[in-house]
Structure 1
Amino acid sequence: MALWKRAGKYYVKLTAPDGTLIRRSTGTTDRQKALEFHDKLKAELWDLARLKQKPKRTCDEAALRWLKEKAHKKSYRMM
């Protein structure tokens, strides 16, 4: 487990089950909360890889994807 403090905040570094490297800020200055964030992130990545669960998406992400997919259409207008 790689957990380090930089500029007052903790960061995590871990390798996902598919081999991708993930480096991310925990957004906290408390070590215990940073450890919880690390464990939760690692468990979520494991669930996605091993249990074939889909990641949670927001409505905004879906709308943005739809707009990108429809951008080539003639009826699509940017306002």
Structure 2
Amino acid sequence: MKTQHEIIQQGYDALINSLGVVDTIRFIRYFSPGKGDYTQERHQWLDEKTLANVLLEMNELPEDDTNQYDEIIE
């Protein structure tokens, strides 16, 4: 069984071999962990909503969003 470090190293190696160093860095930067406390921030907007309101908003969303993953990594 591989250690976590070995898996991470193997993943980096696969990215570098596939994308090259520069594009690997661009890819990793795209998935940065961000800042702030998501749990605390979520309560600021979620505590004001009822389950009925959340379901209503979900039903108002377009059904097929096939372009959600088509953005360009810059």
For the superposition of Structure 1 and Structure 2, which TM-score range results when normalised by the shorter chain? under 0.3
Which structure shows the higher strand fraction?
A: 1
TM-score, normalised to structure 2, is 0.27
Q: Which has the higher contact order (CA 8 A, sep 6+)?
A: 2
Which structure shows the higher helix fraction?
A: 2
Larger radius of gyration: 2
TM-score, normalised to structure 1, is 0.25
